[in-house]
Amino acid sequence: MGHLFQQDAYGYANALLLKYNFISSPILWFENPKYMLGLVVVVALWTSVGTSFLSFIAGLQGIDRSLYEAAAMDGVRNRWQELWYVTLPSMKPQLMFGAVMSITGSFGAGAIVTALCGMPSTGYAAHTIVNHLEDYGAIRYEMGYASAIATVLFMIMIGTNKLVQKLLAKVGE
């Protein structure tokens, strides 16, 4: 994985860009604050799709096929309406599961930053809440402050969770 954006000319991205003369010297992908965060997002996406994806596939199997015929009878005309009025409402529980997983996964992202950019990342440009938590909890041993961070993070997650729940209730209306 690390090879793709490796910092020297041996990384794939750099080799490609060098070869076609887009750049004249290799880019330090994970040291340059300009690229760090974006790349971490791409890699996080790369590794995170699996969980909700699998549950969505299984959820799609649970949809009653006859609903589609009934919907067609009732005047659903194109696939967007089918998606919005039949498919998505039928798999709301799985959507909620996927949402919760993504919320906890992305707010909890920290290890991936440490793995790619180091701890701390240059100029703290890719520092996440969890990195901050680890910084104060596991390096500086200021447990009180670290616990406060964890509590705030927990509150943010609950808030986001509630918000997504509200949004999901609107699906299919």
Partner 1 sequence: MIQVKLTRSKSGIRRSYFVDFGIYLFLFLFGLFMMLPMVYAVSNAFKPLEEIWFFPPRFLVNNPTMQNFRDLFMIMSDSWVPFSRYVFNTVWITAAGTAGHVVLASLCAYVLSKHKFPGKGLMFSMVVLSLMFSGAVTQIPNFMIIAKLGWVDTYSAIIVPAFASSLGLYLMKQFMDQMIPDAVLESARMDGASEWRIFWTIAMPMVKPAWLTLIIFSIQGLWGTGANHFIQSEELKTLNYALSQILAGGIARTGTGSAAAVLMMIVPIIVFIISQSKIIETMSASGMKE
> What is the Cα–Cα distance from 171 to 52, expressed in whole angstroms?
18
In the complex, minimum distance from the CB of residue 67 to partner 1, in angstroms, rounded to a whole number: 9
Per CB under 8 A, does 135 bind partner 1? no
Q: Give the binding range for partner 1 (CB under 8 A) out of 23-31, 33-41, 112-120, 130-138.
A: 130-138
> What is the Cα–Cα distance from 66 to 106, expressed in whole angstroms?
37
Per CB under 8 A, does 3 bind partner 1? yes
Site string for partner 1, 68-107 (x = CB under 8 A): xx-xx---xxxx--x-------xxxxx-xx--xx-xx--x
Contacts of partner 1 in 53-72 (CB under 8 A)? 54-55, 57-59, 61-62, 64-66, 68-69, 71-72
In the complex, minimum distance from the CB of residue 151 to partner 1, in angstroms, rounded to a whole number: 9
Nearer to partner 1, 33 or 118 (CB): 118
Q: What are phi and psi of 18, to 5 degrees?
A: -65, -45
Binding interface with partner 1 (CB under 8 A): 1, 3-4, 9-12, 15, 18-19, 46, 49, 51, 54-55, 57-59, 61-62, 64-66, 68-69, 71-72, 76-79, 82, 90-94, 96-97, 100-101, 103-104, 107-108, 110, 130, 133-134, 137-138, 147, 150, 153-154, 157-158, 161
